[in-house]
Amino acid sequence: MRGHKRLEYCGSYSAVLDDVDISLKHGKLMLQSRLKGGFLTQKTPPGPGFPPFHVGFIGRDRIAMLDPPMKELQGEFLRHPDGGIAWLRWGGRIHSRR
C-alpha cells in the first residue's frame, strides 16, 4: 500500500480506557496507545503505557502489530456508510475517530 493511501488511516481514536494515535513515520504506520486511567476505580491513575510500535496491513482495513509486546495482535478499521473511517477495533475495544 502506498504512503498516500496509508494517510487515510492516520489520526486519533478514543475509547473509555485509552486513546490511540496512528501516524506515518518513514513510510510505515505507527500506533501509540495512551492509557487514561480510571480502571478499577475512577481515581486509579493510568498504568505504564507501551512505546509506539509498527503496524502492517494484513487485508483491506485490517492491521497486525509487528513489534513486541503486541506482536501479531490484530485490529480493524470500520467505516461509515459513506466510506470514511469511523472507528478502530483494537485491543478488544472500539475506538471512535476524533
Cell of residue 72, nine digits? 501479531
CB atoms within 10 A of CB 65: 20
Cis peptide bond prior to 69, omega within 30° of 0? yes
Cell of residue 43, nine digits? 481515581
> What is the third-level CATH fold of 3-97?
Lipocalin (2.40.128)
The pLDDT tens digits of the residues spanning 59-92 come to: 999 999 998 877 878 999 999 999 999 999 998 8
Q: Where are the domains of the chain?
A: 3-97
C-alpha distances in Å from residue 16, one per residue of 29, 53, 80: 23, 21, 21
The pLDDT tens digits of the residues spanning 15-50 come to: 988 999 999 999 899 999 988 877 667 777 777 777
